[in-house]
Amino acid sequence: METAAVRLEAVSKTFGDRPVVRDLSFSIAPGEMFGLLGPNGAGKSTTIRMLTTLTKPSGGSIEIAGFDTIRDAAQVKQSIGVVLQQTSVDMDLTVWQNMEFHARLHHLPKADRKLKIAQWLDYVALLDRKDDLVKTLSGGMKRRLQIARALLHDPQILFLDEPTVGLDPQTRRRLWEIVLDLNKKGMTILLTTHYMEEVEYLCERICIMDAGEAIEVGTLDDFRDKYGRGISIDRRGETMESKFYPTVDAAMAAMESERDRAGMMVREANLEDIFVKLTGRDLN
C-alpha cells in the first residue's frame, strides 16, 4: 500500500479551553492537488501550522511523507516547502541573497547552491531580477520568489496558504500556471484559498472545514452527486433563495412550473453554492 503524502488521524488542537480543530482526519495521495476550504475561523491556519511542525497537535497524529510531525520534525521539514500568505522574504536583501540564505539554512552543498538557485529563479521568471532588492519587486514577483525559495531544497510536498491573496487577476493566473506545472511534474500540493474558482480550477479533491471539523471531503463531482447538480435561484422575495435539484433539467422543470418566473434563474451548481449550503455562509 502506497504511503500517503499527508495523513491526519483524529487531529485536535485546543488553546486553553477553546477547541480550534476537532477530530480532523483526511489523507492526501502522492502527486495529488488537494484544496482546504473554510470560512474565517474554521481552523485552516491552525491545521497548516500543525502540518508544517509550527504547532503541536493536542491530540491525534499527523504524518508527512511517512514521518511523524512531532517525533520526526527534522525529516518533515526536509520533505516540505511552505508558502505562507504573509510575505516572508527579506526586503533588504536581493533576490539572489534571499535564495542563498535559504539554501544555507537547508545545508545545500556549495557546489549545488548556485545551480539550484539559478534553476528555480529561472523557473519563476525572476533570474533577470536576481540582483534587485526584494523591496523593489511587485507583489506577484515577491510571491513567485517565495515559491522558488520553497522549492530550493527539492521538497516532496508543497503547502500553499492563500498564495494569491491580494494579487491582480493576471498575476493570479500566472501563479496558477506555475502551480499546475509543479503538480504535473509530480509535486504533492495542499492549497488553502478564499477564491472558489481557484479551487475548482486547480484541485482534484477538496476538504471543506467549518468550526474546526471536516464536514465534507471529496471531488466537486462527489459533492454535486450528493447535493445536486442543478440549482434554482429565486430573487423574487426580499432575500435570495436557492434550491438544489438532482439535475439542471430537473431545476429547469421546477422553474417552468412557476407562473411568475421573473427573478428566477437555473444553472449548474458550483462549489460556492455547495460551500454556502454546508456552512451557511460564504468564505468571508
Tell me which residue of 224, 233, 196, 181 sits closest to 33, measured CA to CA. Answer: 181
pLDDT truncated to tens, each residue of the chain (284 aa)?
568 999 999 999 999 989 999 999 999 999 999 999 988 888 998 999 999 999 999 999 999 999 999 999 999 999 999 998 777 889 999 999 999 999 999 899 988 899 999 999 999 999 999 999 999 999 899 999 999 999 999 999 999 998 888 888 888 898 899 999 999 999 999 999 888 899 999 999 999 999 999 999 999 999 999 999 999 998 877 788 899 999 999 999 999 998 888 888 999 999 999 999 998 865 44
Q: Residue 9's CB: how many other CB atoms inside 10 A?
A: 15
In order, the DSSP letters of 100-149 are HHHHHHTT--HHHHHHHHHHHHHHTT-GGGTTSBGGGS-HHHHHHHHHHH
Going by the DSSP 8-state scheme, the letter that residue 271 receives in this structure is H
Nearest 5°: CA angle at 223, between 194 and 157? 55
> What's residue 284's pLDDT?
47
pLDDT tens by residue, 173-196:
988 999 999 999 999 999 998 888
Which three cell numbers mark 27? 489523507
Q: How deeply is 200 buried, as exposed, middle or buried, from its count of CB atoms within 10 A (0-12, 13-18, 19+)? A: middle
> What's residue 152's pLDDT?
94
H or E element, residue 163? none
Please state the domain extents for the chain.
Answer: 6-221, 229-268
Q: Counting runs of H as helices and runs of E as strands, what totals does the chain give?
A: 10, 13
> What's residue 195's pLDDT?
85
Q: Identity (one letter) of the amino acid at 122?
A: D
In angstroms, the Cα distances linking 120 to 73, 99, 124, 180, 196 are: 25, 9, 6, 16, 28
In order, the DSSP letters of 169-214 are HHHHHHHHHHHHHHHHTT-EEEEE-S-HHHHHHH-SEEEEEETTEE
| Pairing of the two strands 59-64 and 241-245 | unpaired
> What's residue 227's pLDDT?
95
What is the value of pTM for the model shown?
0.90
d(CA 244, CA 53): 40
List Cβ neighbours of 91 (8 Å cut-off, separation of 6 or more).
133, 134, 135
> What's residue 49's pLDDT?
93
Q: Residue 112's CB: how many other CB atoms inside 10 A?
A: 14
Query: Which residues is 68 bridged to in the sheet?
Result: 63
Tell which CATH classification among 3.40.50.300, 3.40.1390.30, 3.30.2090.10, 3.10.20.30 matches the domain 6-221.
3.40.50.300
